[in-house]
Structure 1
Amino acid sequence: MGFGEKEESLVKESWEAMKPNVADLSVCFFTNILDIAPAVKDMFSFLRDSDEVPQNNAKLKAHAIKVFKMTCESAIQLGEKGEVVVPDSSLKHLGSVHLKNRVVSVHFEVVKEALLRTIKEAVGEKWSDDMASAWGQAYDELAAAIKNEMNQDQSATALPSN
């Protein structure tokens, strides 16, 4: 299934509906991540020293907003350009941070599941299989770009120096 105007519209519409409540949704998002995979808690610097997901953690909220926003922007790019284009500096940073924190493919799947659960909860009866598919595709494309950068980063680090 391709990513077209319909999919882009579904993501944009649901993102607009979520924006006013994004602070609460960020807590919901991280609660979902930790419900799915409690062991990943220590991968997030802003959660390491806490026994629960803090309701007023500014770093948690900022990180969740970035994930939501980047996924939404990925959807828009897929609709407009047919691919996700992340600025090189941002992509290099994302790849480096994810590599440093030992993020692996299964972690991306956990985040995807948590993201979709959060959006489903946020949009209520507007949720549909088509909306799930649109957000899923956008997230998968963004995750693929980050994984690719991680692989390049890892390969560059593994090269012997002359």
Structure 2
Amino acid sequence: MAFSAEQESLIVSSWDMLKNNSADHGLKFFLKIFSAAPEAKALFSYLKDSNVPLEQNPKLKSHATVVFVMIAESAVQLRKAGKVTVGNSSLKHLGVVHTKLGVTDAHFAVAKAALLETIKEGVPCIWSAALSDAWGVAYDQIVAAIKAEMN
């Protein structure tokens, strides 16, 4: 699936607005995932026996920020690189971890919906169908790259 110059421009513009509050947006992203799929909390060992509210869990905050930034930065460079690349991790590592945890297509679908809703709330002044489509295409390509390493 090609990623157009217009889609790249939309992603870059929205990421420029989101990145200064990436920790907050990342946490909102994960809270939306857990709201839609409470069972997903079981995928995170540090949440299983924690009495700390999700909003205050330092490990969740850290992980959420890393994931949100990785998705956004992968999306920003998608057209330039011509493929999905990730920052401090590797696609192979992400594939292994997601396989080990038993992540399914349903999990990826919930995360996509949560991501789009988080971005919509983070950049309401520029939100549009085209921006939603751009982020959706980028997310789908990132997930396809991770799934390729899960097999």
Establish whether TM, by shorter chain, passes 0.5: yes
1:64 and 2:64 correspond: yes
Q: Could you give the per-residue CA deviations for residues 94-151 of structure 1, whole angstroms, max 9, x where no partner exists? A: 1111011100111111111111111111111211111111111111111011111011
> Which residue of 2 is the match for residue 28 of structure 1?
28
After the TM superposition, which parts of structure 1 deviate over 4 Å for at least 4 consecutive aligned residues?
A: none
After TM superposition, the structure 1 = structure 2 runs for residues 12-161 of structure 1, keeping only pairs within 5 Å, are 12-50=12-50, 53-86=53-86, 90-151=90-151
Counterpart CA distance in 1 for 2:68 and 2:27 is 12
TM-score (ref. length: structure 1): 0.82
**Aligned partner letter, 1:97:** V
Q: Could you give the per-residue CA deviations for residues 3-52 of structure 1, whole angstroms, max 9, x where no partner exists? A: 22211111111112112222222221111001111111111223222467
| Identical counterparts, % of pairs | 51
Report how many residues are paired. 150
**Where do 5+ consecutive residues of structure 1 fail to align?**
152-162
CA contact (8 A) 2:95 2:146 kept: yes
SS of equivalent residue, structure 2 residue 14: helix
Counterpart CA distance in 1 for 2:22 and 2:111 is 16
1:6 and 2:31 correspond: no
**Where do 5+ consecutive residues of structure 2 fail to align?**
none
TM-score (ref. length: structure 2): 0.87
Counterpart CA distance in 1 for 2:17 and 2:131 is 13
Aligned-residue CA RMSD in angstroms?
Answer: 2.1
**Larger gyration radius, structure 1 or structure 2:** 1
